[in-house]
Structure 1
Amino acid sequence: MLFKQSKSALGPDGSGKSFTALPRLILQRKIFVPAFKVALVVGTVLNVINNGEQLWIHHTLNLWNAALNYVVPFCVSSYSAARHEARSLRGD
């Protein structure tokens, strides 16, 4: 299922309003890979901004906060791309 490209992510009526429509769209390669790349770049910049001092003086980082700096940009990017894809498949 991961990276499968199909229009089956739409609901049974083709509306894209199925509960699983967005998660299925997010797992499509054309959405997942660019969102992952955005998360790598933005997450790295956020980690340098938020944790730069700890990095330079070799202190330990809060791994939860560092991970969130990557997860949040991925979620935002993939969600917005999936919403756009769902709307374009519906013809909006």
Structure 2
Amino acid sequence: MIKMKYFKIYGEIVISPNVINRALKVSLIVGTILNLINQGETLVTLDIANLNFIKLGLTYLVPYGVTTYTATAMKVEFLIGTKAIIDADLKCVKCGCEIHVKKNELIPECKKCGIKTHWKLK
């Protein structure tokens, strides 16, 4: 069963300014390129009557969603030496050691596992 606190943690990461800014930048660049590939002639000639607005919107939405998902997945990894984006209770996958990290605190190595530490949400 998925714990409700996970939804809160994922939600905080998804709406964090860093994730939103990165997703918007990627969406703007990739979405524009894909729209030019898919509807280039219609866009260049400004033929609004034949422009598929649903396709236009989705072409920006997909890169935004993929970037948001990827950034969130990376932030939830809690890699050692990176800053925690939120307060979290972590558990070492290898040995089961547990720690609490605060927002913007550097994520430490596990005392038992050292450099081979792999943290997951507790």
TM-score range, shorter chain: 0.7 to 0.9
Aligned pairs for 1:8-87 (under 5 A) are 12=5, 18-60=6-48, 61-87=51-77
Runs of 4+ that moved beyond 3 A: none
TM-aligned CA deviation for residue 59 of structure 1 = 2.1
Determine which structure has the larger helix proportion and give its number: 1
CA distances 1:24-59 after superposition (whole Å, capped 9, x unpaired): 211111111011100000000011000002123432
| Structure-2-length-normalised TM-score | 0.56
Q: Which amino acid aligns with 2:68?
A: S
| Structure-1-length-normalised TM-score | 0.72
Q: Which runs of 5+ in 2 are unaligned?
A: 79-83, 85-89, 91-118
Structure ranking higher on relative contact order (CA contacts 8 Å, 6+ apart): 1
Which has more radius of gyration?
Answer: 2
- Once residues 19 and 72 of structure 2 are traced to their aligned partners in structure 1, the CA distance between those partners, rounded to angstroms, is 7
Q: Which runs of 5+ in 1 are unaligned?
A: 1-10, 13-17
TM-aligned CA deviation for residue 64 of structure 1 = 1.0
Q: Percent identity of the aligned residues? A: 31
Contact 1:22–1:79 (CA under 8 A) maintained in structure 2: no
RMSD: 1.8
Q: Which moved more, 1:49-58 or 1:59-68?
A: 49-58
Determine which structure has the larger strand proportion and give its number: 2
Q: Which amino acid aligns with 2:67?
A: S
